[in-house]
Structure formats: structure tokens, C-alpha cells
Amino acid sequence: MGVWTTLFRKFRGRRSYDESFLAEHIPAHIAIIMDGNGRWARRRGLPRAAGHHAGMLAMREVIRAADDWGVQVLTLYSFSTENWKRPRQEIDYLWQLVDEFFQLDIEELVERNVCIKIIGDEEQLPEVTQATIQKARNQTIANTGLVVQFALNYGSRSEIVKAVQTVARRVERNELRASDITEGAIAAALETADVPDPDLLIRTAGDQRVSNFLLWQIAYTEFVFVDETWPEFTRTHFEESIKTYLTRERRFGGLK
């Protein structure tokens, strides 16, 4: 039996782990570009809405898997600033799914000690959706387990611009000098300032690009691209992606 098979059989599905093992091996922060819902539906002769609904079911299972594996942060690219270009009917259905997910799953998320966070510009979202995600945040704000960040109406370039503007205002108020503007100062002004940068980025459906997602934060992130569309992405695919990550040698620009 190979070392990876032994490792995965030993730790799969457990709700508690050896802390030193987690610290050394399991990625603390996993980010996912959930791509391919429409292609999944088209191949089956179904409407795109069916693909998005299937994608929601896949997302639910991946959240469970991340929690079971002891991941600290899971960031899910749910709706980009560019997605507004899609047909109005499709966009409305996507917001309906957001509402449905939190209504159906909030009890389990609370039970699992999951903390819900949102990154992105919420002001453009429907009022009902804004209320739904605010309620979910309030219900999980004290939870200390897995942090699930939903990127909703999110674009990384916009996030970086806003962060630079925040730093510039501090300079205008004489709180900072130009020489004080460091990577740390900019990172602290990002929406993800309170979580570590992603260790692993997974993208489904075969495309190999980052699509304006966490551009600052993924400077040293390991990428895993899988051919399966998001609705086809299972707990097994999630575990295999972690397995691939564990084979990588991360040097962060230095030598081993």
C-alpha cells in the first residue's frame, strides 16, 4: 500500500486530527474557481439553471469535505464582477440559489462550527440576498471552525484598487509616509486581511486561468486544474487535489 493511500485512508472523513500533522501537511487555505456549470448542463441537454443547481449541491459536499479534513479557510468564487454580463434571468436564478443555500444549509453550517464570510461588493446584490447573507454571517459570527468565504460580486483588480485607495487616504491624513507603503500595508487593506493567503487553488472544467480571482493573494499558491466540471467535482476529486498539493515542493522563491 502506497504512502498516500495509507495517509488518505487514515484521515479521510475524520472530524479530529493531530494538530502537528495538520500544521505540516494540510493546506490551511484552499480557494476554488467553481467553473463549468453551464457546460455540464449543455452536455445533458438541460437548461443552464440545472447546471447551477447541480453546482450548489457539489459546493455543499465540498464544504463538508473541507471541514472534515481540517482546512482552516475555504474561498469559493461564486459570482464575479464580470458575471453581470450574463442574461438577467440567469443572474436572478443565481441569487435565488444563494438564498436557497443559506436557508437550507445554515443549521448544518452552525452545527459544524463554520464561520461565513463574504468578499466582494455587496451593495449591488438584491436586497433579499443582502439580508440573507447578513443573517448567515450573524448566525455564524462566533463560530471558530472552518471559515467559508464566498466571493460574491468579486473582482480582484477592483479589490486591489480599493486597497490602494485606502492606503492613499492614510497618506493624505499624514498617518503614513510614502516609504511606509509596504506589501504588508496593502495586504492589510484587502478584504482578505484576516485570513492567510491560499495554499492551494483548484479550478474545475479544464480551463487554466485565474479569471481576476485573488490576484494579490495567490502569488505563491499552488494550482491544481481538473477536467471535471464543477457539478462533477466530488469529495474524491477534492481529496485528490489535496494529494497533488502534498506532492509539491514549496520554496517561495528560495532553495530547499
Over residues 32-85, the pLDDT tens digits come to: 999 999 999 999 999 999 999 999 999 999 999 999 999 999 999 999 999 999
Spell out the domain ranges in the chain: 29-246
DSSP string, 110-147: HHTT-EEEEES-GGGS-HHHHHHHHHHHHHHTT--S-E
Q: Give the CATH class of 29-246.
A: alpha beta
Residue 78: its H or E element: strand 73-80
Tell me the pLDDT band of 253, cut-offs 50, 70 and 90.
Answer: confident
What pLDDT does 250 receive? 78
Whether the CB-CB separation of 155 and 212 falls below 8 Å is answered with: yes
Whether the CB-CB separation of 191 and 220 falls below 8 Å is answered with: no
Average pLDDT over residues 13-17: 45
0.85 cut: is pTM over it?
A: yes
Q: Is the pLDDT of residue 21 over 70?
A: no
Cα–Cα dist 199/240, whole Å: 15
Whether the CB-CB separation of 59 and 34 falls below 8 Å is answered with: yes
Name the residues annotated as catalytic: 35, 83
